[in-house]
Structure 1
């Protein structure tokens, strides 16, 4: 009799559980917004714990590493800017030895994007913090191998007015007044449609970011595992003064 009662209890429990599961459903979800603002008081114990780390980070970031004689801004030129030229040339100088050591080949030129420059470089001391402000993203440099036809497609994208997209000094682009192409030289030579070219750019752009779809489906891609921000820091540490100017690498006649 005890066994039968035990079986009955188990059966009844399972039956109730099954019925409850079948009839259970969400009828309403409510929530409220919790504002994180100056009305919230900081925990003194946490602040005290973090202060030494914050002081050490600021000490590293505020360390002067070079000098800039003139404030540089990405808004100062139509098709090329001093800051854009500087960054593209830095990427070439820092990337090409790495790429050459790995592949035995050389980068033909560098293409970055105007939108990736997130801050000015102020006149005066340049610190490690400056590099973080200019390039706050974790973008790495990749070298993309493109056909001559893809290079011409790239130039069509760059002909659009409004943004001075940084290119390294290996390139000479001249546009007519109506923005048609007048001259295009890479390393002093006209583009050969039957030749492949190695273009250094950010991993973001190599995936078609900022509308640069010509980078998609390349012949080959080499990731240098080298952050653009780290390239800036390494370069700044090598020079005592930054030299950057608007030049004739990309102009409208």
Structure 2
């Protein structure tokens, strides 16, 4: 019988593997360590390093875009903030798209703050819209548009521009574009909205298969900043109003 010949490398691996100790968890413990401005010690060197960046950021965020004669607040089913934000989105989306958009939509929960009376700054818009959601243009049939409206009408969370709607028991009874056209099931309409909702956010999964989707390289927040800057350049202050575009019966 011919004797077996073993590779020295394989022998070494076998020895090392056999010598490996085994471990098991004997116990575990956890401590809560609170870190805040009262317990953390400031690092003067780091503070000095960040100071120029902090000054630049403060200058940017404190830049005044426009002025308002009063607080601009969101509300259900209507609110001055609801109206001005969706109107702003509709205007800016149409400019970027190069042709009129029929409807604009914002999810109520995504509007995170109100706008103050007096100076409206870039920082104010960041507080209202802190997310980096992008503008998306969806082409929807009338049936799909009504599905969108009904989905957000439940709970009085419908925030739209470009149309008026009447709601009864959480269902849209009628919806008409601001140009007077009634929504027809088989016709198509363009809707400006955030990529979050277009991708099924807020349980709007039915929007994942539109007639057409066009992504615009434009943040919703930047659209709002541009709109309020334009309003400020007009020299006229903003007076908070709502046109009652959503009616609850």
TM-score, L = length of structure 1: 0.84
Candidates 116, 126, 135, aligned match of 2:120: 126
Distance in 1 (CA, whole Å) between partners of 2:121 and 2:59 is 10
Unaligned runs of 5+ in 1: 1-6
- 1:172 is aligned to 164
Candidates 240, 246, 249, aligned match of 1:250: 246
Task: Check whether the contact 1:81–1:166 (CA below 8 A) recurs between aligned residues.
Answer: no
- Alpha-carbon distance change, 12 to 222 in structure 1, aligned in 2, over 3 angstroms: closer
- Alpha-carbon distance change, 39 to 159 in structure 1, aligned in 2, over 3 angstroms: closer
1:113-192 equivalent positions in 2, closer than 5 A: 113-163=107-157, 165-168=158-161, 170-176=162-168, 178-186=169-177, 187-192=179-184
- Alpha-carbon distance change, 30 to 9 in structure 1, aligned in 2, over 3 angstroms: farther
Q: Which is worse superposed, 121-130 or 24-33?
A: 24-33
Distance in 2 (CA, whole Å) between partners of 1:12 and 1:224 is 62
How big is the shift at 1:25?
A: 4.5
- 2:66 is aligned to 66
3-state SS in 2 of match to 1:93: helix
- The alignment of Structure 1 onto Structure 2 pairs a total of residues equal to 237
1:91-106 equivalent positions in 2, closer than 5 A: 91-100=89-98, 105-106=99-100
Task: Check whether the contact 2:154–2:171 (CA below 8 A) recurs between aligned residues.
Answer: no
- 1:4 is aligned to none
3-state SS in 1 of match to 2:66: strand
Does residue 200 of structure 1 match 2:192?
A: yes
3-state SS in 1 of match to 2:214: strand
TM-score, L = length of structure 2: 0.85
3-state SS in 2 of match to 1:156: helix
Unaligned runs of 5+ in 2: 1-5
Task: Check whether the contact 1:87–1:166 (CA below 8 A) recurs between aligned residues.
Answer: no
Distance in 2 (CA, whole Å) between partners of 1:198 and 1:55 is 42
Provide the aligned C-alpha RMSD in A.
2.4
Task: Check whether the contact 1:116–1:135 (CA below 8 A) recurs between aligned residues.
Answer: yes
